[in-house]
Amino acid sequence: MEVHELAGKKAPGSMLTDLPKLVTAYYTLRPNVHDPAERIAFGTSGHRGSSLRRTFNEDHIVAVTQAICDYREANDITGPLFLVKDTHALSEPSFTTALEVLAGNGVDVFIQEDLGVTPTPVVSHAILTFNRERDSGRADGIVITPSHNPPEDGGFKYNPPSGGPAGTDVTRWVEDRANEILKGGNTGAIRIPYERALKKTSTRRWDYVGRYVDDLRSVLDLEAIRAGGVRMAVDPMGGSSLPVWKSVVDRYGLSLEIVNPVLDPAFGFMTVDRDGKIRMDCSSPYAMAGLIHLKESYDVAFGNDPDADRHGIVTRGAGLMNPNHYLSVAIWYLFQNRPDWNPGAAVGKTLVSSGMIDRVAAHLGKRLLEVPVGFKWFVDGLIEGSFAFAGEESAGASFLRKTGRVWTTDKDGIILNLLAAEIVAKTGRDPGEIYTDLTRRFGEPIYERIDAAANAEQKTALSRLSPEHIAASVLAGEPILAKLTNAPGNGAPIGGIKVIAENGWFAARPSGTEDVYKVYTESFKGREHLLKIQEEARRIVLDAFQAAGL
């Protein structure tokens, strides 16, 4: 993909979303229930879209919220529902709609005490701490966020009592029921006016942020950070982590500067992403250009996306660290500095994450469990403690408390950011320097993802690939060691294929949201070797299309 001429530069006013038009469209435009593109698609990340495209409108939110109420009743979930929102412009009206339906259905709803914004990991923490030692009356949650998506987008996701992303069985049930309600003109939804919903005794104010911040000491050595005088900067990127970071500074006395304390639903302060869009992606050097520019002024700096489930680490030497690099450093550090963790607890990674993680885990003598893409695959293991650390290549991860008990079952960009400061405080070196040491010990990988156009039939063909479809026995000059269509960590289908050699691999899978397929590639033997892997990966995918008659 070519780099847009505005990438890394402040977004011009002409690029900003017309917020009044966006919110008006939320209330006035109606989806065409006969058009699949305008129906509800409720996956692990919930339902996403834009009111301007008739894919995220009031009708959608009424139907999805009612479907969640029906799911709770069908599954005897009787505890409170934690309802929170982020800073996207469509989050506020969606919150209002959702509360009207939840209150109409008599659900006990816990909302942020100041009606403010709340990050995704804070909700996961709230659900798990509320449900601890409870066999009945367990809580669940709704997080209104499209994550790092552009300002015109909205998102609405459900976290069951496990606290993490809902599994396919749950999301399919909610999607089917929501579309049934939507098709019926939402006549099956129960709803009361917002003012009445706020005043109902079943609607309670809850100090999400205070409880989460007070408990941070159980997962991080904040005293070491304070005593070490680590100089930090954070860019919340206009997101819901801002009140958390303010509270962290006040509560723990850290030397932490919030370099961008602005909440603007147009995100007009952002620098433009690689493709010319405003996108609050803390793993993108273009979106993080402002913080990278300040790297020399701090021992370590970091950012979060609008719902704070992702992290971005900036160091003096490395600039913005590749997410795979930082995951490797975090694993290297944590498993040597958490003596109360179960020695048998594993490292969890998605199968498209870097092979550096495999080499680090092997050196530490830790089990490595590789799962398909999606944080939902880590939920049970984090609860049980069989995963001490779980991470994915897109800058999302979580890990256990210092005692070895679960912290969150959703990605937590806040603790991953603060962990970088703990690493500086305890080792005297920043994560970029430690990663350089790891490359000297284990090799220096080059990792790239390539997206290519694919229609629905081609995506289906790719998802149905089996090892037998791949005749090759060599990948870029090395014998192929494995051809995987199921993840080795849990046996679940990966929806594509992964081919592994000693010093390189590729994985190909269709996108679930775009008309593209994704090819993830990595080499420990340099750029030329990586290009050979990419060339052979493309050939294998095209052969699969040809075999399917496409």
The token pair at 509 is 């899978």
**Which one of 183, 206, 229 terminates a domain?**
206
**Which one of 153, 181, 206 terminates a domain?**
206
Residue carrying the six token digits 């993490």? 164
User: d(Cα 287, Cα 235) in Å, to the nearest integer?
Assistant: 11
pLDDT at position 1: 62
491: CATH? 3.30.310.50
Q: How confident is the model at residue 469 (pLDDT cuts 50, 70, 90)?
A: confident
In a domain, 335, yes or no: yes
Q: How confident is the model at residue 545 (pLDDT cuts 50, 70, 90)?
A: confident
Q: How confident is the model at residue 467 (pLDDT cuts 50, 70, 90)?
A: confident
321: CATH? 3.40.120.10
Q: Are residues 26 and 62 in the same domain?
A: yes
**Contacts for 182 with CB less than 8 Å, ≥ 6 apart:** 31, 33, 39, 40, 59, 60, 63
Q: How confident is the model at residue 515 (pLDDT cuts 50, 70, 90)?
A: confident
pLDDT at position 42: 86
pLDDT at position 523: 98
Q: Is 513's pLDDT higher than 70? A: no
User: E-assigned strands of 39-181?
Assistant: 47-49, 81-85, 109-112, 140-144, 154-159
Q: Are residues 202 and 246 in the same domain?
A: no
Q: What is the mean pLDDT of residues 323-336?
A: 98
Cα maximum dimension of the chain: 69
**Which secondary-structure segment (H or E) carries 390?**
strand 387-392
Pick the catalytic residue from 50, 94, 147, 283: 147
**Average pLDDT, rounded, for the chain:** 95
Q: Is 64 exposed, middle or buried (0-12, 13-18, 19+ CB in 10 A)?
A: buried
The least confident of 244-253, 337-346, 350-359, 445-454 is 445-454
**How far are the Cα atoms of 216, 220, 262, 400, 455 from residue 252, in angstroms, in the given order?**
10, 12, 22, 21, 52
The least confident of 118-122, 204-208, 430-434, 494-498 is 494-498
Q: Is 461's pLDDT higher than 90? A: no
Number of structural domains, the chain?
3
Q: Is 339 exposed, middle or buried (0-12, 13-18, 19+ CB in 10 A)?
A: exposed
Q: What is the SS3 assignment for 370?
A: strand
Q: Is 159's pLDDT higher than 90? A: yes
Q: Count H helices, E strands: the chain? A: 17, 22
In tens, the pLDDT along 197-255 reads: 999 999 999 999 999 999 999 999 999 999 999 999 999 999 999 999 999 999 999 99
Handedness of CA 168, 170, 172, 175 (dihedral sign): negative
**Which one of 442, 461, 486 terminates a domain?**
442
Q: Are residues 267 and 411 in the same domain?
A: yes
In a domain, 213, yes or no: no
Q: Is 133's pLDDT higher than 90? A: no
In a domain, 177, yes or no: yes
Q: Is 399's pLDDT higher than 70? A: yes
In a domain, 10, yes or no: no
Pairing of strands 232-235, 300-304: parallel
Q: Are residues 481 and 365 in the same domain?
A: no
Q: Are 361 and 331 in contact (CB under 8 A)?
A: yes
pLDDT at position 516: 84
- Domain range enclosing 355: 219-442
In tens, the pLDDT along 369-387 reads: 999 999 999 999 999 999 9
Q: Are residues 459 and 540 in the same domain?
A: yes
Q: How confident is the model at residue 542 (pLDDT cuts 50, 70, 90)?
A: confident
The token pair at 1 is 């993909």
**Which secondary-structure segment (H or E) carries 206?**
strand 203-206
Residue 162 annotated in active site? no
Q: How confident is the model at residue 484 (pLDDT cuts 50, 70, 90)?
A: very high
In tens, the pLDDT along 46-84 reads: 899 999 999 999 999 999 999 999 999 999 999 999 999
pLDDT at position 58: 98
Pairing of strands 47-49, 154-159: antiparallel
Question: How far does the chain reach from its first CA to its final CA, in angstroms?
Answer: 24
Q: Are residues 288 and 177 in the same domain?
A: no
In a domain, 114, yes or no: yes
Q: Is 268's pLDDT higher than 70? A: yes
Q: Is 514's pLDDT higher than 80? A: no
Q: Is 44's pLDDT higher than 80? A: no
Q: Are 310 and 375 in contact (CB under 8 A)?
A: no
Q: Are residues 400 and 470 in the same domain?
A: no
Q: Are residues 191 and 223 in the same domain?
A: no
Q: Are residues 41 and 180 in the same domain?
A: yes
**Which secondary-structure segment (H or E) carries 232?**
strand 232-235
Q: Are residues 326 and 371 in the same domain?
A: yes
In a domain, 212, yes or no: no
Pairing of strands 368-371, 346-350: parallel
Q: Is 413 exposed, middle or buried (0-12, 13-18, 19+ CB in 10 A)?
A: buried
In tens, the pLDDT along 290-308 reads: 999 999 999 999 999 999 9
Q: Are 336 and 125 in contact (CB under 8 A)?
A: no
Q: Is 547's pLDDT higher than 80? A: no
In a domain, 1, yes or no: no
pLDDT at position 546: 81
Pairing of strands 474-475, 478-479: antiparallel
pLDDT at position 470: 85
In a domain, 9, yes or no: no
Q: Are residues 433 and 472 in the same domain?
A: no
Q: Are residues 307 and 410 in the same domain?
A: yes
What's this model's pTM, rounded to 2 decimal places?
A: 0.96
User: d(Cα 278, Cα 322) in Å, to the nearest integer?
Assistant: 20
